[in-house]
Amino acid sequence: MVIVLICYGFPGTPVTFSRPKAAPAHQSSNSTSLGSSNKRKNSNLILIFGISAGILVFAIISVLIICSCTFHEGKTKASPKESVKPRTADAVAQAGSFPHPSSTRFLQYEELKEATNNFAASSILGEGGFGRVFKGVLSDGTAVAIKRLTNGGPQGDKEFLVEVEMLSRLHHRNLVKLVGYYGSRDSSQNLLCYELVPNGSLEAWLHGPSGVNCPLDWETRMKIALDAARGLAYLHEDSQPCVIHRDFKASNILLDNNFHAKVADFGLAKQAPEGRTNYQSTRVMGTFGYVAPEYAMTGHLLVKSDVYSYGVVLLELLTGRTPVDMSQPSGQENLVTWARPILRYKDRLEELSDPRLGGKYPKEDFIRVCTIAAACVAPEASQRPTMGEVVQSLKMVQRITEYQDSASTISNNRPNWRQSSTTFESDETSSMFSSGPFSGFSALVNDNISRTAVSSEDLHEGR
């Protein structure tokens, strides 16, 4: 129904309302059918749009599933190839999983916990910069020393991996043997299980209560010096690639019940690249008093840096002093700084002798070992001997003592012997000290033992 409102057109004109005539019946019917048709078209469009959207979503999901399956299959196929490649400690650390060297046992945490009586304080053997060492017995009855590393974050994990990798492939009678290990990044537990070396460290015997009550005699000190030199020589010359210990010191030389020495703690060790004589290190690591000057000043780590550290240990064996002793007079706190001027004069060498030796040592042997120590701590790395040369020289010192009774008889058959200011020298074989600042001390006598024979013997006995 339509209502028509007629307003006043002019003032005074009344407003009238009129009812229009009804529309014809056929016109109303047409309007209704048109509205219904439009509704049906709208419903069809919505249905078509919904179906299309569903198909599109299904297609996208299907493509994603197919891509995911393809990627997973490719990764699975690639993993065996990757496992064949040798993995360095750094690569393993980045991958987020620990290596499992076939030659080293992976021990369960519960077994190590039980072996140490839940890491009881009564089981502690010692404590270092990387954690505590506990004495324990494994389920098979093996006596072990278990090092529980402190959580050092990524750097601590890296050092743990380095030590596992190093010890799993380095085998020598003068290196501490790795029995097994446990590592878990999730629980931040890193443990190394070593053979138990029961007689403590060289540091404890030289500077601790053991040395006070029962000081080491000359023969024992020389046995320790030779064993430690053999261990380092193996790392430098017989290991492929060459290994630089980087933290060689008295506390890392462990002694068995017969006072044979084993080199320990490879947490800071570095592999020197093949064909290079130096290694660029980003950080200077080590122990104050043992670090070589070129490494401390430049960060260049050399094989000869270990030789310097060995020289410091040899001076400890000769003098009984620690590398740094702040109780000494001014200018004498550092062992090397104090000893160097004395080492240049034969008539002053007795000043270096450890009073606890009581003068009970062969004087000529003492001079020869002082010569070796002086060369090892030379300021320039190029003037230091190799550890292989140190081993040969110490072995010669032993043989000189063994054969000194027959030296005069043998010397009658030797051509052109001559005596230098401090020791003897032969025309046949040049000494490792025949040049450099310590050439005045010069050679160690062969005494009917050629270098060839010594080298052959070392190959047989593993140095």
Show binding-site residues for ATP.
147
- Helical ranges in 195-264 per DSSP H: 202-207, 209-213, 218-233
Residues 400/445, Cβ–Cβ less than 8 Å:
yes
d(CA 88, CA 96) in angstroms, rounded, equals 13
Is 365 in the active site? no
The distance of Cα 150 from the centroid of its chain, to the nearest Å, equals: 15
Residues 251/201, Cβ–Cβ less than 8 Å:
yes
Q: Which of 189, 148, 193 is nearest to 168 (CA)?
A: 193
Residues 436/207, Cβ–Cβ less than 8 Å:
no
Q: Which of 201, 316, 324, 204 is nearest to 264 (CA)?
A: 201
d(CA 402, CA 445) in angstroms, rounded, equals 12
Residues 397/443, Cβ–Cβ less than 8 Å:
no
d(CA 244, CA 268) in angstroms, rounded, equals 9
Take residue 335 and report the two structure tokens written for it. 């062992």
* Burial zone of 137 (CB within 10 Å; 0-12 exposed, 13-18 middle, 19+ buried): middle
- Helical ranges in 235-359 per DSSP H: 293-298, 303-319, 335-343
Binding site listing: 147
Take residue 297 and report the two structure tokens written for it. 């000043």
Tokens 């000057």 sit on residue = 293
Q: Which of 223, 287, 318 is nearest to 261 (CA)?
A: 223
Tokens 């419903």 sit on residue = 43
Catalytic residue among 157, 227, 247, 354: 247
Residues 6 or more apart from 337 whose CB is under 8 A from it? 331
With H, G, I as helix, E, B as strand and everything else as coil, classify residue 9. coil
What are 423's strand-pairing partners? none
Give the DSSP letter string of 328-359. Answer: SPTT-SBHHHHHHHHHT-GGGGGGGS-GGGTT
- Helical ranges in 12-152 per DSSP H: 25-84, 89-95, 109-115
Residues 150/156, Cβ–Cβ less than 8 Å:
yes
Annotated catalytic residues are 247
